[in-house]
Structure 1
Amino acid sequence: MKTILIVDDAPENILVIGKRLMQGFEVLAATSGEEALQLAHAQRPALILLDVKMPGMDGYEVLARLKQDAATQAIPVIFVTAANTAESETDALRSGAADFIHKPVNLDVLESRIALQLALKEQEQALLALNESLERKVAERTGELQRAKESAEAANSAKSNFLHNMSHEMRTPVHQIVGLLQLIQTQPDNPKCNAWIDQVVDSAHRLTGMFDAVLRVTELDSRMLATHPEPLDPATLVEEVVAPLRTRIGAKGLSVETRVAALNEPVSGDAEWIRHALHCYLDNAIKFTEHGSIEIAMQIEERSDEALRVCFTVTDTGVGFGPEVRARLFNLFEQADNSMSRRHEGSGLGLVTVKKIAERLGGGAGCSSEPGRGSTFWFAVRLGRGQPVPGPAGHGLQGG
């Protein structure tokens, strides 16, 4: 129930007005300006009926003090005055009164004026709330647009850096191919020709690998690749990835260990995609680990009637990285550290490809790391339980 404060130095006036208003409001009463100010500040009434002529502090001074107090300045005040001139009405409105009513008071008119002022106050509060809501939304939207702008600028910068790095990576084998072919052309009888030809082939393979990496990401984005589930054994699959790389691992003096959980049941999945994802992780681990060991593992995360969710991890004792790098490692066109990447060949698309492959196979990808303490890269996929159901033909992965 709303509260109305009646301020009048004549108790009989308060009694008459209060009796009428008590039917719909809680009524407070004050017989002096000082008492009115105290009650208004403490009780925060919805509206004040204020007598103009009172001993000591008159209505104009009371109203002025109400407007100076942040707690009461918004309370609508209706002057109740015996003055019945245009000048008195003008003075009342100029002083900040919401309305005025003449004595003797017509109680029906008074109730109508009170209802009008309370309705106006509610509308004002609703408009203020709406304005605050709109300002918040504008601020939020402005923040979103600013973040989107910064994100777009960062993505554009990352794309430019990526294209610059890719052009550098491609230019090196192209120059090697051109130079070696010129040597072969000008010195066809040189006994080194066979070695030069081998180098040309190796450089061509490096170029092909870069083109395949870009094509693979493009195909995954456009969903041109279809899955090809087939019976697979995770332990065999892991060994197929590790075996061709053991020479590189040994040449760096690293040890490698595999730990694959036994499934004890037939499963199916896209072995080619899983092999490629594992190869990307293992290749990175070899590149960025100078001493220590690498571990490839697989464990079961969850089972359902139709599928197993398994997680493959590759853990190394390499250089590691901080959370600011981890946050962008799997983003397209991003690399951990351009200065570090320049010491190692590659397109920088391997981690992006792993993430997209894992998502296409019903899982996800991520990593954890600390600078100087190595890294663990993981990806999860779903493997069907039992024999695979033949699906439609589609494009497969190309290249290594």
Structure 2
Amino acid sequence: MSKPQLLLVDDDSETVQVLGRMLAEEGQLRFALTGGDALRLAHEQPPDLVLLDAEMPGIDGFAVCRAMKGDPALSRIPVIFLTSHHDARIEAAALDLGAADFVSKPPVASQVIARIRAQLRAQRVATTSPSGEAERPTVLAVDDDPLAREAVAQALNGLDLQLLFADDGQEALALAQRQAPDLILLDIDLPHEGGLQICAQLQALPRLQSVPLVFITRFNDPSTEARALEAGGTDFIAKPFIPAVLQARVRSLLRARRQAEAVLRAEREHWRRLGDDRMAEIVAVAPEALITTDAQGRIVLINQAACCLFQVREEDALGQPLAQWLPQDALRPRRGPVRVLLPQATGDAVPVEITRTPLGQAEEQLNSLWLRDLRGQERAEQARRDQLTAETASHTKTLMLSYFAHEIGNPLTGILGFSQLMSLDPHHPLPPPQAERLRLITTSAQMLQSLMRDVLDVNRFETGQFQIRHDRLDLAEIVRQALPGLATQAAEHTVQMTLDGDERPLWILGDADRLRQCVLNLGSNGIKYNRPQGRLTVRLQAEDGQVRLSFADEGAGMTADQQAHLFEPFNRLGRAGQGHGIGLALTRQLVLAMDGQLQVCSTPGQGTTMTLVFPAATDATAAR
């Protein structure tokens, strides 16, 4: 906690120096030698307490105190008068002006420090503790001496107070618990338990924590005074007291308490109203619909979400029966939420969940209804069902593909094996027509075998079982090795195939077998979808840290709509009889798995260029 700000005001520079040394550890000190300087400093930065000389040239201490108490910004700052002329009338006048305390010069360190701490403590408690304001303040006087109690009664007779008296500490505690006083006058020298112990017990009661407590005692020495104030006392008065001084001090303490209560009530009212306003704003913009009806079922509150749900303006809904929008069955009292369909002027009925909460009884009863729009929840549930259906279908498809590939693979291997034996049998050569038919059978079986291999590869990709190597490879060498395998197909389609590019090695990271598969797939597409007597140009080049391999044909090309569906498995883009529509989708997946890209550029009537782009691998690149 930061130290309190103390403003010391005295026209005697020596006294200011003495006070400065005395209070150096008590707070952050500022000094003023005139009343005008004191008011200026107080306005610039209001202090927590002012220690004020009563007699100063020009603006004296009384004028300074009067000006501070008349200024709302400074009125709550406790002022302790410090004067060398201790007169009962001067003290009473100072207290009536609003001073918190009155101390005589020369200052005694223990006494001044104790009074400053007491006032600062009282100020903190007064601004944080709850209390109510009684019509007539109650003062509890605790003293075992009947004459002392009579003197207190006579001194305070002129004030409009309710006086309570107690002979000892236990009676004081019992009275305070029955009726919390606004001020306590406590003798230090009490039977059984001393006043200091009673002070601690009284202030331990929650209702009395903010009640000022004044010690009245015949022990008039600085040591006793310091102990009393450190124990929790707000003020200290010596016996025999001057009635006018006691009356002024009581009046001052009660006035300070009333002011603190007024400020605290104002603060609470401010925050209560602010809280009500904030709550109204929160309800108004709440995402869920809220409606409150009176005992007759008429709408008395409706927020923005409810207006949107009912498709009605707030001013048109207020005062109208809620049954105009909700079915009567939904309005019957019941435990738990109820689900209903809310009709809409436009569009389908909206499913809502209604939770009803009654407040109050009989004619004063209010019913609050929270309406939760279930459309989002139902859409989410439908999405979850659709996802589960899709996952189930995908799993079923995977099982079926694996089963068919396995079951078809065995007889297919037999077909290819016997076809090879028949074509190579020197003892029973086939006549040319039969040999041609056998070649067609072999070609079809090989196409089926390629299809099944591609289908299984796609399935492995979808299930995360596909493994790709990342070895350092020369793409140019792989292309030169793979292209001769397309020569027969190119000849059959009368397509001329050429290879352009650098002779130097083009290093990338990839899987050699899968790269050959990609080259064959793209080359085969460039031949199949080319025009008769067309050209397929295969080009290799390296630039900007990338290696590019392109296949440019002179075929029919593709429209923008066809390109949008190009990589969908089994979609042949309306070209019946040309491939099975899976090779290109598989090629793209293989290239992406090797950190590459497959780019497409196609113009209807002019042809298509498919380009593989890979990051170039440097000599320092390590195989993964």
TM normalised by structure 2 equals 0.34
Structure showing greater Rg: 2
Please give the TM-score of this superposition, normalised by the length of structure 1.
Answer: 0.49
